[in-house]
Amino acid sequence: MSELNNITLKILENGKGILAADESTGTMTKRLDGVNVPSTPENRLLFRETLFSSSSMTECIGGVILYDETIKQKSSKKNKIPELISEMGSAPGIKVDTGAKVLAGSPDEKITEGLDGLRERLKEYYKLGAKFTKWRGVYNITKSFPSKLSITSNAHALARYAALVQESNMVPIIEPEVLMDGNHTAEECYKKTSEVIERCFEELILHKVDLKGIILKPNMILAGNKSKSKISNEEVAKLTLKCLKSSVPSEVPGVAFLSGGQSELEATENLNLINKYNDTNFIMSYSYGRALQQSALKFWSKDIQDIKGTQKIFNHRAKMNSLAAQGKWSKDLEI
Ligand code: 13P
């Protein structure tokens, strides 16, 4: 088994998943503004350190995606943050893209940047303890989007990123996120997501990326958030499985879904059903940002020194998702 495949399995096996705590300072500021906590480096660290030192880290969180600011910070006990995460039995990871920018040639769409100087940055992150990385491509659904141009250029960037990451002995998370914004149907989401993922794998193969040493981080197949034709959770699970079965090569060891604006409960319930119906060899787990942190953040904002109380909320959410990643969750386990 390759070293990269080993890392992937360690992160995702046995009901473990990923905590996506890699919000850029801009996004984190929006989240903190939302709960009336000043967005200072100290507060951003305090909230994140509270999560990273929770007991559920050992059993439920196989990896944590960090932002550049956090990977270089030290905990209140003067531990480096990647060391704290490793001591809890989890793997530190790092977001390495530099954000989605206007796509020249199709200015209403985005292309993710960050390839310039990436090889050097990866060396630095590896030394800081990172075992895996993340790059997110983002796609809108409308009548004419995502365009061929956006699908092609984002797949190309994701593949060049992944090849460089594996060269640096880390596991790349490949995140092509088809957004849920809009009034499209789930069928349209299915079609566009399949096209996006298939194109990504064409490029990954062309760039000689070892598919056993990656994690795919896709969206689930959902109707748009403004759509009148919502589908049931069972249908979400079945369409998501159908899409991944036909567009993801069988060598890929694991899939870790993003939550993408679903509520905490929806994200858990859908993941649970995906695992109940999972007839593939892919591990189906989570790499949630909002769906793991929302309640904990809300609770914490009332008293930012209540570490134990905040950890209790986070531990519960992590445990629920870990059960869902094994198809063992049920609603009556929620508090
Ligand atoms: P959400 O689960 O909040 O969508 O965040 C996951 C993520 O890492 C987006 O890039």
8 A C-beta contact, residue 313 and residue 253: no
Domain ranges for the chain: 3-333
Dist. CA 110–CA 101, nearest whole Å: 5
- Give the mean model confidence (pLDDT) for residues 17-39: 98
- What's the 20 CA to ligand 1 centre distance in angstroms? 6
Q: What is the mean pLDDT of residues 250-263?
A: 98
How far apart are alpha carbons 255 and 275 in whole angstroms? Answer: 11
Strands (E), the chain: 17-20, 61-66, 91-95, 100-103, 106-112, 132-139, 171-178, 215-216, 254-257, 283-288
Q: Which of 173, 225, 287 to mutate to test the pocket of ligand 1 (most atoms within 8 A of CB)?
A: 287
Percent of the chain with pLDDT over 90: 99
Q: Which of 20, 59, 87, 132 is nearest to 326 (CA)?
A: 59
**Contact indicator for 169, 127 with CB cutoff of 8 Å:** no
Residues in contact with 290: Cβ distance below 8 Å, sequence separation at least 6, in sequence order: 259, 261, 264
Q: 80 - beta bridge partners?
A: 74
What would the pLDDT profile of 128-148 be if each residue is shown by its tens digit? 999 999 999 999 999 999 999
pLDDT digits (tens, 9 = 90+) for 264-273: 999 999 999 9
Residue-wise pLDDT tens digits, 292-302:
999 999 999 99
Report d(CA 214, CA 191) in Å as an integer.
23
pLDDT digits (tens, 9 = 90+) for 157-175: 999 999 999 999 999 999 9
Query: What confidence tens digit (pLDDT) does each residue in 178-206 have?
Result: 999 999 999 999 999 999 999 999 999 99
Q: 35 alpha carbon to ligand 1 midpoint, in Å?
A: 19
How would residue 1 be classed by pLDDT, with cut points 50, 70 and 90?
Answer: low
Q: Does 288 sit in the ligand 1 pocket, CB within 6 Å?
A: yes
Mean pLDDT of the chain: 98
Q: Closest Cα to residue 287, out of 56, 32, 61, 31?
A: 61
User: Rounded to a whole number, what is the distance in angstroms from the first to the last CA of the chain?
Assistant: 41
Domain 3-333: give its CATH superfamily: Aldolase class I (3.20.20.70)
Answer for the pair 18, 256: CB distance below 8 angstroms, yes or no: yes
What pTM, to 2 d.p., does this model score? 0.98
What pLDDT was estimated at residue 335?
77
